[in-house]
């Protein structure tokens, strides 16, 4: 049996998520993105980040909604992806700036993309609540993530700092 090759996008909502301003090295509040199925085990295969600001970004992943606790037992950190600000004609990280069709450079957005991942992701909140994966209706698994601004420039607030993150996920396990 082959490994799962079906990828499903799980995206943040730029009108709801990552809205507050972030100063240099500041981390956002936790954002919980609903996964397409209730199972706790996933692979993150690719990540897309689109921003109206050209900044150095980091995405941090956690296995629980309550994370970054004061001890190792309550930290729940899983991994990090770094996206460097794009510079000149050769980007420093995977991604490109794109001006809108009307050519207005003030409305340019910055696109970052990384694929080829096989990062195992586990929602411990879902696993702990339903260890046998017999999940009643209504319960959902989530990707728990935070955004860090690593630039010397602050991330703007709300629409001025619009940002969208999409995780392309696949189920862990064998497919029939």
Measure the CA–CA gap between 28 and 148, rounded to whole angstroms.
Answer: 6
Name the fold adopted by 8-171.
Jelly Rolls (2.60.120)
Q: How many helices (H) and strands (E) does the chain have?
A: 1, 10
pTM exceeds cut of 0.75: yes
Sorted by sequence, the CB contacts under 8 Å of residue 56 that are 6+ apart come out as 82, 83, 84, 85, 149, 150, 151
pLDDT of residue 72: 85
The model's pLDDT over 19-44, given as tens digits with 9 standing for 90+, comes to 999 999 999 999 999 998 888 889 99
Report residue 118 CA to chain centroid gap: 15
The residue among 84, 23, 91, 96 whose CA lies nearest residue 59 is 84
Report domain extents, the chain. 8-171
């Amino acid at each position: 049996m082959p490994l799962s090759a079906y990828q499903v996008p799980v995206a943040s909502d730029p009108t709801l998520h990552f809205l507050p301003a972030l100063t240099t090295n500041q981390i956002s509040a936790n954002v919980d993105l609903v996964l397409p199925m209730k199972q706790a085990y996933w692979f993150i295969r690719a990540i897309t980040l689109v921003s109206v600001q050209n900044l150095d970004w980091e995405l941090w992943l956690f296995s629980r909604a309550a994370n970054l606790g004061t001890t190792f037992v309550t930290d729940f950190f899983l991994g990090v992806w770094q996206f460097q600000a794009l510079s000149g004609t050769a980007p420093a990280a995977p991604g490109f700036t794109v001006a809108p069709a009307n050519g207005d450079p003030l409305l340019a957005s910055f696109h970052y993309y990384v694929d080829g991942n096989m990062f195992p992701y586990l929602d411990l909140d879902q696993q702990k609540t339903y260890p046998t994966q017999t999940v009643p209706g209504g319960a959902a698994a989530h990707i728990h993530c935070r955004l860090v601004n690593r630039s010397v420039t602050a991330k703007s607030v709300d629409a001025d700092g619009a940002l969208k993150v999409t995780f392309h996920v696949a189920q862990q396990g064998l497919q029939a």
